[in-house]
């Protein structure tokens, strides 16, 4: 978030092209805005498996697994309940930070367009592009059941979220067949097409 460094009160600045502008005094500072790429998907759709391959395929971007902030947010929240909108907003802020180094951000996480559109940091990003990793429900159930015992297995809930994404996200990448490397290459082509 950009606050005016000239005004005596903490005035939130507004985006204007690649600047942040104070609505009170007109002061400006650099605030490059770039698109954001979200690789969403229900649990066990293949996000974690794709991650290292996507990092290797997109060396001009920064690629994050959004789960990395869950632990810090649990510690920051008094009773361990994660404030999910705050966590999502933190990722938009990180993406805007990476944009200052001219790096587009790719987030791997189960986010939806509606969740991100309502966040305070949304206006510091230009377009947000969504692709969803997807697999058949029985494949997802088998993957969930094969996970470490401490992890949850709410298969019906994850399949319902997968159905929602299938109906709402225009770019679907199946992970039933093929390797994570192949899925990552398709995602990299999708990212690079939008950046070109
Ligand atoms: Zn000002």
Report pLDDT for 75: 87
The pair phi, psi for residue 4, each rounded to 5°, is: -65, 130
User: Mind listing the pLDDT tens digit for each residue in 133-154?
Assistant: 999 999 999 999 988 888 877 8
Q: Do 17 and 89 share a domain, yes or no?
A: no
Q: Distance from CA of residue 40 to its chain's centroid?
A: 7
Tell me what the mean pLDDT of segment 94-118 comes to.
97
Q: Do 168 and 126 share a domain, yes or no?
A: yes
CA of 168 from ligand 1 middle (Å) equals 41
- Residue 81 confidence class, pLDDT cut points 50, 70, 90: confident
Q: Do 79 and 24 share a domain, yes or no?
A: no
CA of 15 from ligand 1 middle (Å) equals 13
CA of 70 from ligand 1 middle (Å) equals 34
**Selection from 20, 13, 39, 9 nearest residue 110 by Cα:** 39
Tokens representing residue 130 in the block: 């969504």
The pair phi, psi for residue 108, each rounded to 5°, is: -100, 110
Q: Do 53 and 117 share a domain, yes or no?
A: yes
- CB neighbour list of residue 3: distance below 8 Å, 6 or more residues apart: 10, 11, 12, 13
CA of 141 from ligand 1 middle (Å) equals 54
CA of 95 from ligand 1 middle (Å) equals 24
CA of 87 from ligand 1 middle (Å) equals 28
Q: Do 57 and 23 share a domain, yes or no?
A: no
Q: Do 54 and 6 share a domain, yes or no?
A: no
User: Mind listing the pLDDT tens digit for each residue in 22-49?
Assistant: 999 999 999 999 999 999 999 999 999 9
Q: Do 22 and 113 share a domain, yes or no?
A: no
% pLDDT > 90, the chain: 85
* CATH number of the domain within which 157 lies: 3.40.50.300
Per-residue pLDDT for 167 more than 80? yes
Q: Do 151 and 187 share a domain, yes or no?
A: yes
- CB neighbour list of residue 37: distance below 8 Å, 6 or more residues apart: 61, 104, 105, 106, 107, 128, 129, 131, 190, 191, 194
Q: Do 65 and 133 share a domain, yes or no?
A: yes
- Residue 177 confidence class, pLDDT cut points 50, 70, 90: confident
CA of 72 from ligand 1 middle (Å) equals 33
Per-residue pLDDT for 123 more than 80? yes
More confident residue, 175 or 81: 175
Q: Do 26 and 65 share a domain, yes or no?
A: no
- Number of domains the chain is built from: 2
Q: Do 121 and 172 share a domain, yes or no?
A: yes
Segment holding 1, helix H or strand E = none
Q: Do 21 and 118 share a domain, yes or no?
A: no
- Domain span at residue 38 reads 33-195
């Amino acid at each position: 978030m950009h606050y005016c460094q000239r005004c005596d009160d903490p005035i939130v600045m507004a985006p204007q092209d690649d600047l942040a502008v104070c609505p009170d005094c007109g002061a400006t500072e650099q605030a490059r805005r770039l698109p954001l790429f979200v690789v969403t998907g229900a649990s066990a759709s293949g996000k974690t498996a794709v991650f290292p391959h996507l990092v290797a395929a997109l060396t001009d971007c920064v690629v994050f697994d959004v789960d990395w902030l869950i632990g810090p947010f649990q510690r920051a929240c008094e009773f361990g309940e994660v404030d999910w909108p705050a966590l999502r907003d933190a990722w938009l802020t990180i993406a805007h930070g990476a944009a200052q180094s001219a790096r587009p951000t790719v987030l791997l996480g189960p986010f939806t367009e509606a969740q991100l559109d309502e966040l305070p940091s949304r206006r510091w990003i230009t377009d947000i592009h969504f692709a969803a990793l997807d697999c058949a429900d029985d494949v997802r159930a088998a993957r969930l059941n094969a996970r470490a015992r401490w992890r949850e297995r709410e298969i019906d809930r994850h399949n319902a979220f997968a159905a929602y994404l299938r109906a709402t996200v225009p770019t679907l990448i199946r992970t039933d067949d093929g390797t994570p490397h192949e899925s990552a290459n398709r995602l990299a082509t999708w990212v690079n097409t939008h950046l070109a």
